[in-house]
Structure 1
Amino acid sequence: MATRLVQINMKALDDAALGRFWADALGWTIDSEGPGVTNLEPPGFAYPDPAAVCIDIIARPEPKTVKNRVHIDLASTSTAHQEQLVARLKALGATLADVGQVDVPWTVMADPEGNEFCVLEPRPVYQDTGPIAAVVVDCADPHEMARFWGQAMDWTLHEVTDDHAVMRSAQGVGPYLEFLRTPDTKSGWNRIHLDVSPYPGDDLAGEEARLRALGATDPGIDQSSIHWRILTDPEGNEFCLLTPR
């Protein structure tokens, strides 16, 4: 058994408005499976597919108060494209953000609800990822995160050092998943988290047991009314184990 990263879950005060921003930013389509839920995916996409990590935006009343531990890096193809992308995102409602960066070649921004993201300078490694270059998770120990997530999913581990770990779909398509060592500590629930899914025919309870054996834990909340499972990774980051599909 194994899982794969299929989407990220993003909380929002106004899911529809934030969904419009990200749909315009990425050139993706908007759908909704119900009130308070906005689903984003590339045009013509057949979910799930490793060619993209989709975005589910969920309405929640709690405001953002701290820097997110999960963010998106956007790819650019040239310096001119990076500048044009930053300008276009500003026109859509994004703002420049200060997360302590000093002199870096990428641009740190925030979406209309304050969620941080980066517009990267052109890098050859991201030229075939699509608009999202990477999903980045802050962490204290990239080695431990690589161990857990490398066994939790069937994605390929490309690199692991004391400062970062890098994974990508075994098919070699879509964005990267990166774990970046930072001095920050986790505070409260993550407003953005990973959603993983087993493959068709796999058993949800069996996959949950396997993830727990690898180091996943229970966040200690009532899950009796949902058909998926909420777990936390070894650093306490919440993630959802969706039903197999």
Structure 2
Amino acid sequence: MALVTFKDLVIDVEDPAAAAGRWGRWLHLAGEIDEEGAVLRGEHPGQTVWLNPAPLKRVKNRVHLDLVARDLEPFADQIRITEPGEFSWTSFSDPEGHEFCVFQGGERPDGLKDVVVDSVDHRVIGAWWADVFGATLGSDDEYSWVDDIPGSPTESFDFVNVPEPKTVKNRVHWDVALAGEATVDDLVARGATVLLPPGDDRGWTVMADPEGNEFCVFDA
């Protein structure tokens, strides 16, 4: 039984206004800016991306976004990490150091394609998220993918093994909403950890999955 549905994405950034400009263009979403940060919105609630102010990025992101674009022109002023044709995607870094990958062409509309997560054991953590989302799991030797996530605008969540350990809070995370009669205790019973319970003006629970990836849980 699914415990949660996808709600939205959150990216920690140094300059929310500047980040809203570039990520809004790349994701084809409209930006709203206020004194607390920025938010990008599309036609559907699941397309929402919150851009929260945060200190300087210091390490490689363990969670990054894959995008789809007709060509690479919108990214010409970004730092290119790989060369076109080197892989089936081209990797870039934005001015704040956020890594992302761009896939060209295909039938999917331009914008967000996948959420990619560095992992210790991609099969185990991929199966965990497929279970709590009630989604479809696929796997091979290189990575695991979770498709058909309720509420998600992505093609998939991809989990890929990396040798380096997680050392800091992820600068990209996702929010979820409890499904049906599910509770935070149900997530704990499946192996999640409560990092911060609701309190003050915070109406959500901050949790971590079995590999330490942070996510926020909201009531349905």
Query: Taking structure 2 as the reference length, what is the TM-score of the superposition?
Result: 0.87
From 48, 61, 70, the equivalent of 1:68 is: 61
Partners of 1:161 and 1:105 lie apart in 2 by: 18
Partner of residue 11, structure 1:
12
* Aligned 8 A contact 1:15 1:57 in 2: yes
Which residue does the alignment assign to 1:36? 36
Opposite residue 49 of structure 2, the aligned amino acid is I
Q: How far has the Cα of 1:97 moved from its partner?
A: 2.7
Q: Secondary structure at the match of 1:151?
A: helix
Q: What letter is aligned with 2:123?
A: H
Contact 1:168 1:174 in 2 (8 A): no
Superposed, 1:165-204 pairs within 5 Å as: 165-169=144-148, 174-175=153-154, 176-199=156-179, 202=180
SS of 2:45's partner is coil
Q: Which has the higher helix share?
A: 1
Retained in 2: the 8 A contact 1:5–1:195?
yes
What SS does structure 2 have at the residue aligned with 1:64? Answer: coil
AA aligned to 1:163 is E
**39 and 139 in structure 1: CA distance in 2 versus 1, 3 angstrom threshold:** same
CA distance in 2, matches of 1:23, 1:148: 31
Summarize deviations over 1:150-193 as a string: whole Å, max 9, x none: 12112222x12343111122579831111111112111111111
2:48 match: 54
SS of residue in 1 equivalent to 2:194: coil
Q: How does 1:65-104 map to 2 (within 5 A)?
A: 65-76=58-69, 81=70, 84=71, 86-91=72-77, 94-97=78-81, 103-104=86-87
Q: Residue by residue, what CA displacement relative to the aligned partner does 1:29-52 show, whole Å, maximum 9, x if unpaired? A: 1135x522311122xx1324xxxx
Deviation at 1:56, TM superposition (A): 0.9
One-letter amino acid matched to 2:142: D
Give the TM-score taking structure 1 as reference length: 0.78
Over aligned residues, Cα RMSD in angstroms?
2.4
2:108 & 2:104 partners in 1: Cα distance? 14
The aligned runs of 1:129-140 (5 Å cut-off) are 130-140=110-120
* Alignment size in residue pairs: 215
Deviations 1:192-241 (A, max 9, x none): 11211124xx45xx52111111110123x575221100011011111111
Unaligned 5+ runs, structure 1? none
Matching residue of 2:211: 235
Which residue number corresponds to residue 188 of structure 2?
212
Deviation at 1:133, TM superposition (A): 1.3
Residues 68/170 of structure 1: CA separation in 2 closer, same or farther (3 Å cut): closer
1:146 and 2:140 are equivalent in the alignment: no
Q: CA deviation at 1:66?
A: 0.4
Q: 2:199 aligns with which of 224, 235, 238?
A: 224
**Residue identity opposite 1:155 in structure 2:** A
- Mapped partners of 1:15, 1:47: distance in 2: 20
Q: In 2, are the aligned partners of 1:151 and 1:214 still within 8 Å (CA)?
A: no
Q: Which amino acid aligns with 1:97?
A: I
